[in-house]
Structure 1
Amino acid sequence: MATTVDAQELAALRTLSAAIGDDPHLTQAAGGNTSLKAGDTLWIKASGTWLRDALTDDIMVPVAMGPLVEALERRDPSADKPQAFAIDALNPRGLRPSIETIVHALMPQRVVLHVHCVEAISLAVQADCEIEAGRRLQGIAWAYVPYRRPGLPLAQGIAERLGQGVDVLILGNHGLVVAAETVAEAERLLHRVRSLLARPARQTPIPDIAALAALADGSGYRLPADIEAHAVALDADSRRIAEAGSLYPDHVIFLGRGSVVARPGEKVADVVARLGTNPVAVLFPGAGVLMRGDASSGADAMQRCLADVTARIDTTARLNYLTAAENDELVNWDAEQYRQRLNAAG
Structure 2
Amino acid sequence: MAAGRINAADTPAELVELVYASRLLGKDDRLVMHGGGNTSVKSVLTDFIGNKVNVIFIKASGVNLASADVGDFTPVRMDPLRKLQQMYAFGQRHSEEDIKCFSTREFKNFLYLNLFTLTDHMVSHSLTPSIETLLHAFLPHRYILHTHSLALLTLSNQAEGERLCREALGQSYGMVPYSQPGLGLAKFALGAYEERPAIEGMVLHKHGLVTFGDSAKEAYDRMIDGVNRIEERISSAERKVFASVPMPASIATVEQVAPIVRGACSFEKTPAEKDYQSFVLEFRNSPALLDYLKIADLEAFSKKGAMTPDFIIRTKNHPLVAPAPDADDLEGFGKELRKRVERYVEEYRAYFERQQQATGMDVSMIAPMPRVVLVPGLGLFGLGLSAADAKLTADIAEHSALAMLDAESIGCFESISE
Q: TM-score, normalised by structure 1?
A: 0.81
Residue 107 to residue 290, structure 1, CA distance change in 2 (3 Å): same
How far, CA to CA, are the matches of 1:215 and 1:119 in structure 2? 32
Per the alignment, residue 69 of structure 1 pairs with: 82
Q: Which has the larger radius of gyration?
A: 2
The aligned residue for residue 289 of structure 1 is 380
Q: Identity across aligned pairs (percent)? A: 26
Alignment-derived partner of residue 41 in structure 1: 55
Give the equivalent residue in structure 2 for 1:275. 344
Alignment coverage as a number of residue pairs? 320
Q: CA deviation at 1:156?
A: 1.9
Between the aligned partners of 1:257 and 1:306, the Cα distance in structure 2 is: 12
Shift of the 308–181 alpha-carbon distance from structure 1 to 2, 3 Å rule, reads: farther
The one-character-per-residue Cα deviations of 1:165-194 (angstroms, maximum 9, x if unpaired) are 223111111110000010111111111101
Q: CA deviation at 1:321?
A: 2.1
- Asked if the contact 2:23/2:66 (under 8 Å) is kept, the reply is yes
Shift of residue 293, structure 1, vs aligned partner:
4.8
Residue by residue over 1:71-113, the C-alpha shift from the partner in whole angstroms, topping out at 9 and shown as x without a partner, is: 1331373556532322225675242011111101112110000
Larger CA deviation: 14-23 vs 284-293: 284-293
Contact 1:213 1:223 in 2 (8 A): no
Cα distance, 1:116–1:237 mapped onto 2, change above 3 Å:
farther
Q: In structure 2, what is the Cα distance between the partners aligned to 1:298 and 1:11?
A: 27
Separation of aligned partners in 2, 1:167 and 1:62: 24
Which residue of 1 is the match for residue 256 of structure 2? 214
Give 2:401's aligned residue.
307
Question: Aligned-pair RMSD on alpha carbons?
Answer: 3.3
Query: Residues 232 and 238 of structure 1 are in contact (CA less than 8 Å); yes or no, is this contact kept in structure 2?
Result: no
Which has the larger displacement, 225-234 or 282-291?
Answer: 225-234
Question: Where do 5+ consecutive residues of structure 1 fail to align?
Answer: 325-346
1:1-24 residue CA offsets vs partner (Å, 9 max, x unmatched):
899998223212112211211211
Alignment of 1:108-147 (within 5 A): 108-138=140-170, 140-147=171-178
- 1:248-263 to structure 2, matched below 5 A, reads 248-263=308-323
State the AA in 2 paired with 1:37.
K
Q: 1:97-108 residue pairs with structure 2 within 5 A?
A: 97-108=129-140
The one of 190, 195, 198 aligned to 1:159:
190
Evaluate the alpha carbon distance shift between residue 293 and residue 130 of structure 1 in structure 2; reply closer, same or farther with a 3 A threshold: closer
Classify the secondary structure of the residue corresponding to 1:224.
Answer: strand
- Looking at structure 2, the residues matched to 298 and 174 of structure 1 have their Cα atoms a distance apart, in angstroms, of 19
Aligned to 1:23: 28
Task: Return closer, same or farther for 1:279/1:134 CA change in 2, 3 Å cut-off.
Answer: same
Q: Which residue of 2 aligns with 1:9?
A: 14
- Give the distance between the partners of 1:317 and 1:224, measured in 2 at CA: 31
Match of 2:293 among 224, 234, 247: 234
Q: In structure 1, how many angstroms separate the alpha carbons of the residues matched to 2:251 and 2:115?
A: 47
Cα deviation 1:239-283 (Å, max 9, x = unaligned): 443332233112211111122212455444343233345200111
* Cα distance, 1:236–1:134 mapped onto 2, change above 3 Å: same
TM-score, normalised to structure 2, is 0.68
Q: Is the 8 A contact 2:122 2:128 kept in 1?
A: no
User: Structure 2: how far apart are the matches of 1:271 and 1:311?
Assistant: 23
Code of the residue aligned with 2:56 in structure 1: it is L
State the shift of 1:50 in Å: 0.9
Q: 1:88 maps to which residue?
A: 117
- Could you say which residue in structure 2 is the equivalent of 1:150? 181
* Residue of structure 2 aligned with 1:317, choices 396, 408, 411: 411
Amino acid at match of 1:244: K
Determine the C-alpha separation between the residues in 2 that align with 1:232 and 1:160: 42
Distance 1:168 1:124, change over 3 A: same
Q: Distance in 2 between matches of 1:21 and 1:6?
A: 21
Rounded Cα–Cα distance in structure 2 between residues aligned with 1:152 and 1:227 = 41
